[in-house]
């Protein structure tokens, strides 16, 4: 997975998930302050792409903990994100 920025919008992209039903969740985990953690649902899509409401996150360092289901299998990945 990767984060793509387009103008003022941010997208989570899972390569290879196009044309397949994919869904999951993302936890924006802030180790410095648990109150900044934010969980986002990744609604089912066949594009492998979700717009993320990152403007809601307070400034800080985050680890995006991503769980998703694709083709009957479960996956997990982490991405570092600095806001």
**Contact status, residue 45 vs residue 23, Cβ threshold 8 Å:** yes
**Contact status, residue 49 vs residue 12, Cβ threshold 8 Å:** yes
Cα dist. 12→1, 23, 28, 40, 42 in Å?
A: 7, 12, 12, 11, 9
Give per-residue pLDDT as tens, 40-62: 999 999 999 999 999 889 999 99
Give per-residue pLDDT as tens, 4-15: 999 889 999 999
Q: Is the pLDDT higher at 56 or at 32?
A: 32
What is the Cα–Cα distance from 81 to 38, expressed in whole angstroms?
Answer: 13
Which residues is 65 bridged to in the sheet? Answer: 27, 78
Q: Quick one: average pLDDT of 22-49?
A: 95
Amino acid 59: pLDDT: 92
| pTM summary value | 0.91
Amino acid 17: pLDDT: 87
**Contact status, residue 83 vs residue 58, Cβ threshold 8 Å:** yes
pLDDT at 16 over 90: no
């Amino acid at each position: 997975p990767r984060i793509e920025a387009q103008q003022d919008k941010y997208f989570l992209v899972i390569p290879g998930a196009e044309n397949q039903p994919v869904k999951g969740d993302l936890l924006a985990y802030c180790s410095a302050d648990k109150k900044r953690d934010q969980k986002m649902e990744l609604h089912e899509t066949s594009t492998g792409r979700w717009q993320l409401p990152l403007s809601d996150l307070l400034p800080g360092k985050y680890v995006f903990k991503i769980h998703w289901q694709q083709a009957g299998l479960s996956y997990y990945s982490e991405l570092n994100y600095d806001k």
